[in-house]
């Protein structure tokens, strides 16, 4: 799964999920893409599940680019823990996705096949998304 090799600080602040995307808003590598329509945190497990769904559908033909990276750490405390006692340990990492961001790109296969692969990938993600072309 995707995670940063090294971070300046282990634990990050919990930030709000608002605003529109100003970066990653256009296709840069491939001809087809999956664009988010709402703000959400996408975990590294969800990104990996979407990648697997796409690669299995296109039978390892073409090329896939993952444009988002999970670099925000999420902490979790155990169940039935009393209040206080500090922040819990890092549990997993998420990518912050805003409306209008291109999350995945694809090249080297027909458009109808790419669209079906992206739809399969979108079912694995917690965010509403749409298929875009160049």
Q: Which CATH class is domain 32-75+90-133?
A: alpha beta
pLDDT, residue 102, reads 97
pLDDT, residue 68, reads 97
Tokens of 20: 């529109």
**Tens digit of each residue's pLDDT, the chain (134 residues):** 899 999 999 999 998 888 999 999 999 999 999 999 999 999 999 999 999 999 999 997 899 999 999 999 999 998 899 999 999 999 999 999 999 999 999 999 999 999 999 999 999 999 999 999 99
3 state DSSP class of 97 = strand
pLDDT, residue 15, reads 87
Q: Which of 3, 106, 132, 134 is nearest to 50 (CA)?
A: 106
CA 88 – CA 109 distance, rounded (Å)? 45
Phi, psi at residue 66, to the nearest 5°? -100, 115
Q: Which of 107, 96, 95 is nearest to 33 (CA)?
A: 107
How is the beta sheet containing 40-43 ordered, strand by strand? Answer: 40-43, 90-97, 72-75
């Amino acid at each position: 799964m995707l995670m940063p090799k090294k971070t300046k600080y282990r634990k990050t602040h919990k930030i709000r999920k608002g605003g529109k995307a100003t970066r990653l808003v256009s296709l840069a590598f491939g001809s087809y893409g999956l664009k988010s329509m709402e703000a959400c945190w996408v975990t590294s497990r969800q990104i990996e599940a979407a990648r697997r769904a796409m690669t299995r559908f296109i039978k390892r033909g073409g090329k896939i680019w993952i444009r988002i990276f999970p670099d925000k750490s999420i902490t979790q405390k155990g169940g039935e823990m009393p209040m206080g006692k500090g922040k819990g340990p890092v549990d997993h990492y998420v990518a912050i996705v805003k409306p209008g961001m291109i999350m995945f790109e694809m090249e080297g296969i027909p458009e109808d096949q790419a669209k079906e692969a992206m739809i399969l990938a979108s079912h694995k993600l917690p965010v509403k998304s749409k298929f875009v072309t160049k």
